Amino acid sequence: MSVQLTDPVQSLPGIGPARAKRLEKLGIADAGDLLLWYPRNYEDRRACASVREAPEHQPVCVRAMVATSPKSSYIRKGLELVKVNVVDDEDAMELTFFNQSYVRTALSVGQVYIFFGTVERKGRRFSMTNPVFEAEDRQRFTQCIMPVYPLTAGISNNLLAGAVRRVLEDCAEQLEDPLPPEVQRQYQLAHTGYAVRTVHFPPSWEELEVARRRLIFEELFYLSMGLAMLKGSGQKQAGPPCSYYDPSEYYLTLPFTLTNAQQRTVRECFADLSSGSAMNRLIQGDVGSGKTVVGAACAWLMAKNGYQSALMAPTELLAEQHYHTLAPLLAKSGQRVGLLTGSMRAKEKREIYAALEAGEYNLIVGTHALLSEGVTFQKLGLVITDEQHRFGVGQRAALAAKGGAALRPHVLVMSATPIPRTLALIVYGDLEVSVIDERPPGRQEIQTVLVGEGKRQQMYGFVRKQVREGHQVYIVCPAVEESEEPAPGFMDLKAVTAYAETLRTQVFPDLRVGLVHGKLKAKEKESAMTAFSKGELDILVATTVIEVGVDVPNATLMVIENAERFGLSQLHQLRGRVGRGESQSYCVLLSANRSGDTLQRLKALCSTNDGFKIAEEDLKLRGPGDFFGSRQHGLPPLKVADLATDTRVLYEARDAAEALLSSDPGLSLPEHRRLRERIEQLFEEHKDTFN
Ligand code: ADP
Ligand code: MG
């Protein structure tokens, strides 16, 4: 029976119900899924040599005949040795296998096998330990470039390689190619059948490159197509018409003078807003660069023009904080600001809905609650999202769709994560970008140090010193959400609570220690945060809920426990919670982990305060999948493409996607049906990771 792509894996030889279950954990249910399970690496097993000529320290394939029947012995309980002698034309060699009893029956005297391993020599005596072997006439895993697959318990590499090989034999020709032929021709891409076969079993490195390029292109092409389709045609659409007002009138209401970079960004935004086209702009600015007042300037201009604005923040805490800064600020211009969060009581919410619909608020600040069904605006003209990468692409669109009016509102995105260019291209696509590359005056560089567990007492001493000088301290612990599996180094919320308790009762019994984490009731969270920002707490123990936006200028020390658990960009965000006032601020990274990688990452953080440098480093070290932290951004994951290195292919794929979409915007031509289905399926599968 020949295998079909849609056959369940159980129909393949060697895969029973137990193994099928394990494969399913990897997301492999049918034969087609197996083909998409790409190797993570390869082992070159092509070199062959005789026993005598085999190179030192380098594994090769040796053709030899089994000369003695395998002898097994136990050197201690649980450690079995099987020894076999083999010969080639000139020499004899002794093979040793550890704990592989099946070898006793798998090797027969007089038979010729290919053994892949490193030949060791002592004088004229040759030996090999734990070689891979197979009968000369049934070669599958020797004398080839062997794929090395990502594995799970109970599934061996040979099992996967064997199953993939079987499926390829029967199905490689069945694979339909969703890429339009003209795209394949123009960008000189290999056919899908060839690419898939070759990526699993490459005859040579050169061919592997050709195959990989095709797969990388395909992946980035789908991504570009999908994003472009989500965003619409990319042509400039008309936006809510606005008149220009001189921003200096707004500046007069501020307690400080804006930096040049802030003023430039305000001018760029105002030009967009009054241009007649819909604004689509990203403000990138490192933590503390002062994005909020710039966003508020836009809301101010919209209100002058009779429009409402909405500012969506990723957490309640942040929404509340924005509300507390912006309400008094805009009140000076006679504008009203409202707050809407998920944890408000139904009655409060209803009142806010009504006020919004009646146009009583000029700006509404809120969380995802802004997307609720009940929310309608009288005249929504501008949508601002803060820390946008936390939101899926779809959500931005959902909020914008609440405009009510015929015209799509202007969109402004503020991000503190300095996104490397390649990623910005993917995630933000056609957004215009303003960069606030200047800090408000008087800020000092944060000093960052990395210390091991041995310095814990000294760290406590330093905390005490900061508090004695009248400052406040954050202590951040990595914590898991309840639904996630605890990983080493992460604390569950119980552990965080216990740690806070120890600090309160034993380490700092004389200081005021508070705790916030994501699972507290909104009221409790707020009261702890408010207490901290009013200076009623000396130390705030927190999980990453404080990561974004929280602003307490008197806090001068950020201690991060198990720092190796966080991504660099995330650490940089956390560190940005201090250094917001005039006093010298510090960040102490605690890490017991001394592995080379970890050290390199954490040292990068100690050596620079430049968020862009850190983001580039993060992308290099961890890849884009992790870039956004544990939260997904609603895009399908990349399996072969690497945004840090495949920039050239990314540009090509973008060009190809744009060209195709301009000739067939909705992919409605029959020859593009497969392609459309593929893209819809990819984006559909990951829709629920939008957050
Ligand atoms: P972020 O860009 O990280 O969102 P914020 O908008 O929260 O930064 O601003 C950080 C702090 O700096 C706030 O307390 C804000 O009031 C203050 N700030 C912003 N701009 C200036 C400025 N030009 N001069 C002095 N302080 C400023
Ligand atoms: Mg902010």
Which whole-number Å values give the CA distances from 512 to 473, 507, 537, 540, 557, in the listed order?
A: 11, 11, 5, 9, 15
What's the pTM value of the predicted model, to 2 decimals?
0.61
Q: Given the CA of residue 285, which atom of ligand 1 is nearest to it? A: 2
Q: Cβ(310) to ligand 1 under 6 A?
A: no
Quote the CA–CA distance of 13 and 31 in Å, as a whole number: 12
Pocket test for ligand 1, best of 258, 263, 292, 318 (most atoms within 8 A of CB): 292
Nearest atom in ligand 1 to 289's CA: 2
**Does residue 258 line the site of ligand 1, with CB under 6 A?**
yes
Q: Which amino acid type is present at position 448?
A: T
Distance CA 553, CA 580 (A): 5
- Asked if residue 511 lies in contact with residue 467, where contact means CB atoms within 8 angstroms, the answer is yes
Instruction: Name every residue whose Cβ is closer than 8 Å to that of residue 504 and which is 6 or more positions away in sequence.
Output: 513
Assign 3-state DSSP to the chain and report helix, strand, coil percentages, each to 5. 40, 20, 40
Rounded to whole angstroms, the Cα distance separating 605 from 148 reads: 34
Output the CA 484–ligand 2 centroid distance in Å: 27
Tell which atom from ligand 1 comes closest to the C-alpha of 257. 23
Burial class (CB in 10 A: 0-12, 13-18, 19+), 610: middle
- State in Å: Cα 289 to ligand 1 middle: 6
Q: What are phi and psi of 124, to 5 degrees?
A: -105, 10
The structure tokens listed for 435 are 């960069």
Binding site membership of 290 for ligand 1 (Cβ less than 6 Å): yes
> pLDDT for 365-378, tens place per residue?
998 889 888 899 99
Average pLDDT over residues 387-395: 59
Each residue's pLDDT tens digit, 491-506: 677 788 889 999 999 9
Instruction: Verify whether ligand 1 is closer than 6 Å to residue 259 (CB atom).
Output: yes
Asked if 266 and 411 count as a contact pair (C-beta separation under 8 A), the reply is: no
Half-sphere exposure of 132 (CA within 13 A, CB side): 16
List, as one string, the DSSP characters of 424-439: HHHHHTT-EEEEE--P
Q: How far is the CA of 302 from the centre of ligand 2 (A)?
A: 20
Distances (CA, A) of 416 to 125, 288, 461: 65, 8, 32
Tell me the C-alpha distance between 170 and 34, whole Å: 13
Question: In percent, how much of the chain has pLDDT > 90?
Answer: 44
Does the beta carbon of 292 sit less than 6 angstroms from any atom of ligand 1? yes
CA gyration radius, the chain: 31
**Which tens digit of pLDDT belongs to each residue from 462-485?**
999 999 999 999 999 987 654 445
207's enclosing H/E stretch is: helix 205-231
Q: What is the pLDDT of residues 160-187, one digit of tens each?
A: 998 999 899 888 788 888 899 999 999 9
d(CA 389, CA 385): 9
**Residue 204 is encoded by which pair of tokens?**
């040579």
Query: What is the CA(255)–ligand 1 centre distance, in A?
Result: 11
Among 250, 251, 254, 256, which residue has the most ligand 1 atoms within 8 Å of its CB, making it the best to mutate? 256
Q: Is 287 in the pocket of ligand 1 (CB under 6 A)?
A: yes
565-602 pLDDT, tens digit each: 888 878 888 898 898 888 899 999 999 877 777 788 88
Give the model's pLDDT for residue 598.
79
The mean pLDDT of 73-89, rounded to a whole number, is 89
Q: How far is the CA of 9 from the centre of ligand 2 (A)?
A: 49
Q: Which atom of ligand 1 is nearest to the CA of 294?
A: 6
pLDDT at 36 over 80: yes
629 or 166, greater pLDDT:
166
How far is ligand 2, taken at its centre, from the CA of residue 318, in Å?
A: 8
* Residue 477 φ then ψ, to 5°: -115, 140
Write out pLDDT tens, residues 222-281.
988 887 776 664 556 788 999 999 999 999 999 999 999 999 999 999 999 999 998 988
Nearest to 351 by CA among 363, 343, 368, 339: 339
Q: Is 440 in the pocket of ligand 1 (CB under 6 A)?
A: yes
Distance 667 CA to ligand 2 centre (A): 39
Q: How many residues does the chain have?
A: 691
Residue 292 CA, closest ligand 1 atom number: 6
Question: Residue 635's closest CA among 389, 398, 419?
Answer: 389
Residue 294 Cβ contacting ligand 1 at under 6 Å: no
| Ligand 1 within 6 A of CB of 289 | yes
Phi-psi region of 336 (alpha: psi -120 to 50; beta: other; left: phi over 0): beta
Helices marked H in 332-455 — which ranges?
Answer: 346-357, 393-400, 421-428
Please work out whether the CB of residue 291 comes within 6 Å of at least one atom of ligand 1: yes
Measured CA to CA, the distance from residue 267 to residue 249 in angstroms comes to 13
Which residue's CA is minimally distant from atom 17 of ligand 1?
290
| 678 vs 683: CA distance, rounded Å | 9
Asked if residue 625 has pLDDT above 60, the reply is no
- Residue 485: per-residue pLDDT: 52
* Coil, strand or helix at 597: helix
